[in-house]
A and B are shown apart, each in its own frame.
Chain A
Amino acid sequence: MRCSADLAAFRLSATALLLALGLGGATAYAQAHPVAQPAAPLRTPAVETCVNCHAVQQDARLHDPMERLRGSVHAHAIGCSGCHGGRGNEPTAQAHDPEAGFVPRPDAATIANRCGSCHADARFIRRFREDLPTDQLALYYSDAHGRAVAEGNASAPSCLDCHGSHDIQSPSDPSSRVARRHVHETCGRCHADPAHMAGTRLPTNQMELWTHSVHGVAVLEHGNPRAPTCAGCHGAHGEYRDAGGPEGRCRQCHTDEAAAFDRSPHAAAYRRLGFSGCVACHGSHDIQRANGALGTVGGMGVCRRCHGEGRSSYDLARGIAGDAEDARQSLAAARSEVQALERDGLRVPALNGMLEEAEQADVQLRVAVHALDATVTRAAAAAVREPAQRARTLARSTRDRDRRSRHMWLLAVPVLGLFIALAALKLRAVERAKGGPG
């Protein structure tokens, strides 16, 4: 493919492009995008004569892919034959010659290999981007999707099923199918479709569950750049396969909770029972903020599964859950009292400090609970309750003082009433006197 004809054609087209853009603009463009004019020829030229015929094709299937390629990351890097094979700059028969590797609709394995021919070649890919990894193909074949393709499963996905084909975009482009806000939809196209997943034992509600989970809300509503999408836990191409699985991934962000849990009596018990650490209590795709939803309100929620009434461990578990819940309730009460004061315009800077202290202790309590140790939880809960209680006391005394001073103002009312009465008497006297003799 590195024949001189290709090179000549490329140079010719590049010159035409330069003329078309105008010299000044083109120079600026070339400076800003050095990639567009690489020192060495590409594997396939970005401009091929395929366009001459396909641009005038009436059939949209033959025409549209070219249009879509124009806005993609590959627009300046590869032409048609880079993926479809064939001889791009030769007449129709040669261009579409299966002998030269031409495939109109490549199958999954072909796609993976053709993408890999560039993307698994570190020396080649470094010409364009310093930071692109080149291990995706190897990872892909090590993980479920790639293995299914290797086994000949026709419904397993290739690169294009997630990344798109002609209109492929960088994952950092918000319009990309694998952008943070869209990757769950892309996975969901197969994984949320019962028909597609029919042959497997996998559930199809993960996308729905994740969308409403604490992570989904963080990604989709708050735009949190760190919260995990599907790929955050499962990996995109299989990179987390040996990292302890999805659960190992919990630990990479929630380090302190994991450390506390490892010290807890649960750690050994879960290993013995074959439970997964985080998921056993929090769930996986449907993880919620660990308030009442996890079930510590009143009935101990999730703890009850193992520590229900009648079990010997019931009292211990209830003590831990109750301490945590008490602390949270006193924090919530303090917060709402302070907010009520603020709505009435009262400003007590000391209150914010106390509330702050309690909020921070609450974050630490949320970590400490993972130690599942009554003493630790009690101490952490007390650290929340104490400042919260101080805040409530101060809020209440501020409120009382405010109320007292408000009621003091009413002392003026009797005086005003007396004035009204006297004025009314005077008015009556004046009008009666005038009415009499006048």
Chain B
Amino acid sequence: MSDDPTSRSGAPEAKLGRRSLLDLALTATAGGVGAMAMIPALRFASPPPRPPLGATGVVAGRRDEFPERSAKVVTLDGEPVLVVAVPGGDLRAFSARCTHLGCIVAYSAEREQIECPCHGGRFAADGRVLAGPPPSPLRELPVVLRGNEVLVVRG
């Protein structure tokens, strides 16, 4: 806010005082506006409370949390995923959404199959339709072991 030298030289004392007060106020407000703009920018850039979802997938748990014939439901991108330790110990992951009407399926260790509670859809442990109304097998998602960690990766 540089002042105009020509106008300052001819101005009376009182006017000069008022004007410098105005200058001060203007400078202060401009500084305030600038500072106000800095706050959101800094807060925006500071680490968020919850980190974003990784690009790779979701950790379903430790390998030893999955004994043979056990299962667990985890969430990937807001979608339920059923991780099953099939007889023999292999881990497989399926979208837990029944292909019929989208209910969440569950693993039955006793019958070694995946069952839908809504309309009696039955799937084999490899996702195939065994019985009931589901029109197609469960969508399988890749499972990756990272050390002792079980990762379900986006299909």
State yes or no: do A and B touch (Cβ within 8 Å): yes
Q: Which residues of A contact B (CB under 8 A)?
A: 224-226, 253-256, 349, 352-353, 356, 359-360, 363-364, 367, 412, 415-416, 418-419, 422-423, 425-426, 429-430, 433-434, 436-438
Question: A359 near B102 (CB under 8 angstroms)?
Answer: yes
Question: A226 near B133 (CB under 8 angstroms)?
Answer: yes
Question: A415 near B120 (CB under 8 angstroms)?
Answer: no
* 13 sample A-B contacts, Cβ–Cβ < 8 Å, listed by A number: A224-B135, A352-B78, A353-B75, A356-B80, A359-B102, A360-B103, A360-B117, A415-B36, A422-B22, A426-B1, A429-B19, A437-B7, A438-B7
> Hey, which chain A residues are within 8 Å of B118, CB to CB?
256, 360, 363-364, 367
> Hey, which chain B residues are within 8 Å of A255, CB to CB?
119-120, 132
Question: B36 near A253 (CB under 8 angstroms)?
Answer: no
**Distance of A415 Cα from B29 Cα, bound (Å):** 7
B window 7-64: CB within 8 A of A: 7, 10-11, 15, 19, 22-23, 25-26, 29-30, 32-33, 36
Q: Which residues of B contact A (CB under 8 A)?
A: 1, 4, 6-7, 10-11, 15, 19, 22-23, 25-26, 29-30, 32-33, 36, 75, 78, 80, 101-104, 117-120, 132-136
* Binding site secondary structure of chain A: helix
> Hey, which chain B residues are within 8 Å of A418, CB to CB?
29
What is the distance, in angstroms, from B27's C-beta to the closest C-beta of chain A? 9
> A356-B104, A364-B118, A429-B22 given as contacts; is B6 within 8 A of A434 (CB)?
yes
Question: A226 near B135 (CB under 8 angstroms)?
Answer: yes
Q: Which of B4, B22, B36, B101 contacts A363 (CB 8 A)?
A: B101
Question: A426 near B22 (CB under 8 angstroms)?
Answer: yes
Question: B33 near A434 (CB under 8 angstroms)?
Answer: no
> Hey, which chain A residues are within 8 Å of B119, CB to CB?
254-256, 363, 367
Question: A349 near B78 (CB under 8 angstroms)?
Answer: yes
Q: Which of B11, B23, B29, B102 contacts A419 (CB 8 A)?
A: B29
**Which single residue of chain B is at the shortest CB-CB distance from A351?**
B78
**Distance of A429 Cα from B19 Cα, bound (Å):** 8
What is the distance, in angstroms, from B11's C-beta to the closest C-beta of chain A? 6
**Which single residue of chain B is at the shortest CB-CB distance from A349?**
B78
**Which single residue of chain B is at the shortest CB-CB distance from A347?**
B78
Q: Count chain B CB atoms within 10 A of each CB in A363, A425, A434, A438 and give the residue with the most.
A: A363
> Hey, which chain B residues are within 8 Å of A367, CB to CB?
118-119
> Hey, which chain A residues are within 8 Å of B101, CB to CB?
363
> A226-B133, A256-B119, A364-B117 given as contacts; is B36 within 8 A of A433 (CB)?
no
Question: A419 near B33 (CB under 8 angstroms)?
Answer: yes
Question: B25 near A422 (CB under 8 angstroms)?
Answer: yes
> Hey, which chain A residues are within 8 Å of B7, CB to CB?
430, 433-434, 437-438
**Which single residue of chain A is at the shortest CB-CB distance from B27?**
A422
**Which single residue of chain B is at the shortest CB-CB distance from A225?**
B135
**Which single residue of chain B is at the shortest CB-CB distance from A417?**
B29
> Hey, which chain B residues are within 8 Å of A349, CB to CB?
75, 78
**Which single residue of chain B is at the shortest CB-CB distance from A411?**
B36
What is the distance, in angstroms, from A352's C-beta to the closest C-beta of chain B? 4
**Which single residue of chain A is at the shortest CB-CB distance from B23?**
A426
What is the distance, in angstroms, from B119's C-beta to the closest C-beta of chain A? 6
**Distance of A412 Cα from B40 Cα, bound (Å):** 12
**Distance of A388 Cα from B27 Cα, bound (Å):** 54
**Distance of A418 Cα from B29 Cα, bound (Å):** 8
What is the distance, in angstroms, from B12's C-beta to the closest C-beta of chain A? 10
**Which single residue of chain A is at the shortest CB-CB distance from B97?**
A356
What is the distance, in angstroms, from B81's C-beta to the closest C-beta of chain A? 13
Question: A430 near B26 (CB under 8 angstroms)?
Answer: no
> A422-B22, A430-B7 given as contacts; is B33 within 8 A of A256 (CB)?
no
Q: Which of A226, A353, A437 contacts B10 (CB 8 A)?
A: A437
Question: A433 near B102 (CB under 8 angstroms)?
Answer: no
**Distance of A430 Cα from B36 Cα, bound (Å):** 27
What is the distance, in angstroms, from A342's C-beta to the closest C-beta of chain B? 11
**Distance of A359 Cα from B4 Cα, bound (Å):** 71
**Distance of A419 Cα from B135 Cα, bound (Å):** 66
Question: A415 near B32 (CB under 8 angstroms)?
Answer: yes
**Distance of A162 Cα from B54 Cα, bound (Å):** 56
> Hey, which chain B residues are within 8 Å of A422, CB to CB?
22, 25-26, 29
What is the distance, in angstroms, from B53's C-beta to the closest C-beta of chain A? 9
> Hey, which chain A residues are within 8 Å of B104, CB to CB?
356, 360
> A256-B118, A430-B7, A434-B6 given as contacts; is B135 within 8 A of A423 (CB)?
no
**Distance of A46 Cα from B19 Cα, bound (Å):** 110
| Closest 9 pairs between A and B when the two form their complex, measured CB to CB | A433-B7, A437-B10, A352-B78, A363-B118, A419-B29, A422-B26, A226-B135, A360-B103, A349-B78
> Hey, which chain A residues are within 8 Å of B23, CB to CB?
426
**Distance of A367 Cα from B133 Cα, bound (Å):** 14
Q: A367-B119, A415-B29, A438-B7 are in contact. List 13 more A-B contacts (CB 8 A).
A: A225-B136, A254-B119, A363-B101, A415-B33, A419-B32, A419-B33, A422-B29, A426-B23, A429-B19, A433-B11, A437-B7, A437-B10, A438-B6
**Distance of A212 Cα from B80 Cα, bound (Å):** 33
**Distance of A28 Cα from B102 Cα, bound (Å):** 45
> Hey, which chain A residues are within 8 Å of B32, CB to CB?
415, 419
